[in-house]
Every structure is written in structure tokens, then in C-alpha cells.
Amino acid sequence: MHITASFLLLISLTSAWNLPLPQRIFANPTSEREASHKIPTVHESAVQARRILHLETIGTLSTIFPSTHATENRPSDVSGTPIGLMDYFGDCEPGTGNPTILAISIATSFKNVAAGSNITLSLRWHSPNHRPYSAAAIPRFSLVGHLEELTPEEIMGQNVAACFVKYHPDAAWWLPGNKIHESKWVRLVVKEVYWIGGFGDRAYIGWIPVEEWRSVTKEEIDKIRLPGEKKHGWRSWKSWFVSQPEENQEEGLEL
Ligand SMILES: *[C@@H]1O[C@H](CO)[C@@H](O)[C@H](O)[C@H]1NC(C)=O
């Protein structure tokens, strides 16, 4: 009795909320024929990811604790364990899509990197206008790579501090050269990109080759719109990925 009731509820929710079949939530269909929606290509997904990097400012840095901890005041059993910690980034190298990070020497993420860890930046899209009808439908991704220190020429030439402080006015307090915390400018050199665009029946889920990530142009980033980016009600969330002409996205779809 209960099973039947919840099954019927699931079915009605599935159609009312335009949810995918359960087996298509976290995986793409194996054939094009099976897809109920147009699934963006890998390159289109790369453009979405680059726009998210451009508009978002905060993500999670994941690193791995080293095995040695002689001088560290930390539990011994965390060696080899990943830890994800919130941090700021800035999209200050549009030519490559390598995020810029202000590395504070005493922060755990950067201590782990100094001890040899690679690093992953994970981020997700937050609509400025609407709560999503399902957060699982919203793009998120991880950039896997390593940190590289910027040279003084790059710092001056690319106006890194101005770019970063535009995203993070408060970071002006801990820019390199401040009196309290030792810090330096680094880039996350992106090696691999793992993307979950949303539900698998209408969004690409999988690896994006780094060449696709790097080849995205400013024009492409400016042109695309992310779910909920426009102020026209949550209908836009449902129709996201049911490709809409750009004009229709501008106005007049308020529900
Ligand atoms: C970091 O990643 C590179 C591949 O990009 C790999 O060769 C290296 O072993 C990794 N370093 C650690 C400490 O896992």
C-alpha cells in the first residue's frame, strides 16, 4: 500500500517537475535515441563551466594531508586523507581558464600543497535570482591540477591584484606584502575537468578535455546564459537545456 502510494507520488512528481527517469539522474543515456532532451556537447558544457568560473567567486579546495607531520599540530591518522576547504578564487587569466588564488602560507590547503599534494577546485553555480527546483539539476564541476606561483612580471603585467580584489574586496587585507600573513599569488594549472551539468538526460556528465576548457573564448562566455541567470521565474529551470532561442530568454517569460 505504502509502496504503491509513494510510487504514484514519484510518477506524478516526475512529470509535474519534469524530472528525468531515475536511471538518468546521474548518468547520460547510452544512445542518442534514448535522450529525451538535447544534451549539450562537451564544448558547450566547457563554455558553461567557464562562465561559472567567471561569475562565481568561492569554491572548495581539496588537498591531501602528507604523511609527515613532525612539525604539525594535527592528528596523526589524517595522513593521506583528503580535506576540502572553502576558498576564494578569481577568473583573472581568461586566456587559459586557470583560476587565480591568493595562497596564505599558514592555511591548510597551501601547507598540503607545499608538502607535495596536488589540488582540486570544486565549484557550483548559484543563481542570483531564483532557488532551483532541484539543486541536483544545477551545474557543478571540479578542476584538477597543481599550483604554480606567478612571476613578478605576470603579477604586474596582468594586474592580478586589481582583478582579484574586484571579486573579493575584503582580500585587500591579506594581499602579498601585508604585515600579518605571508601570502602569494598562484594559479591552479588545470589538468583535468570533471563536469556534472545537471540531470543526465539533459546535461553532459563526464570529463571535459582540457583543450576544450582552454579554447573557450570570451565571446562564447558572454553569449551563453546559465539556468536561473535571467529573472524569469523557475520555469526557466525546467526548460533549461530544452534549447531556447536567445531572444526568448531575455524577457516576457515571467510565470
Ligand atoms: C600530481 O599529479 C601529477 C599528474 O598531473 C602526478 O604525476 C603526481 O604524481 C601527482 N602528485 C601527487 C603528490 O600525487
Predicted confidence band of residue 68 (pLDDT cuts 50, 70, 90):
confident
Topology adopted by domain 40-70+78-241: Pnp Oxidase; Chain A (2.30.110)
Calpha distance 106→13 (Å, rounded): 49
Domain boundaries, the chain: 1-38, 40-70+78-241
Range 157-169 average pLDDT? 95
Count of beta carbons in the 10 Å neighbourhood of residue 74: 11
Interval 171-222: pLDDT, tens: 998 899 888 889 999 999 999 999 999 998 889 999 999 999 999 999 999 9
Q: If 0-12 CB within 10 Å is exposed, 13-18 middle and 19+ buried, where does residue 189 land?
A: middle
Residue 114, ligand 1, Cβ within 6 A: no
pTM of the model: 0.84
The answer to whether residue 250 scores a pLDDT higher than 50 is: no
Tens of pLDDT, residue by residue over 92-149, are 999 999 999 999 999 999 999 999 999 999 999 998 877 777 889 999 999 999 999 9
Question: Which residues pair with residue 104 across a beta bridge?
Answer: 183
Residue nearest to atom 2 of ligand 1 (CA): 118
Q: Whose CA is nearest to atom 1 of ligand 1?
A: 118
Q: What is the pLDDT of residue 3?
A: 65
CA of 155 to the centre of ligand 1 (A): 26
- Average pLDDT estimate for 2-23: 69
Name the pLDDT band for 224 (thresholds 50, 70, 90).
very high
Q: Is the CB of 191 under 6 A from ligand 1?
A: yes
Where does the pLDDT of residue 253 fall: very low under 50, low under 70, confident under 90, or very high at 90 and above? Answer: very low
Please give the number of the atom of ligand 1 that sits closest to the Cα of 118: 1
Which pLDDT score is estimated for 50?
Answer: 98
- Cell 594531508, residue located: 65
Q: Closest Cα to atom 11, ligand 1: which residue?
A: 118
C-alpha cell at 204: 553532459
What's the pLDDT at 69? 61
Which residue do the cell numbers 593521506 mark?
80
Residue 254 has pLDDT above 50, yes or no: no
Contact 180, 174 (CB under 8 A): yes
CA distances from 19 to 11, 13, 31, 83, 226 (A): 9, 8, 19, 33, 18
The mean of the pLDDT values for the chain is: 85
Mean pLDDT of 223-243: 65
Cell numbers placing 151: 612571476
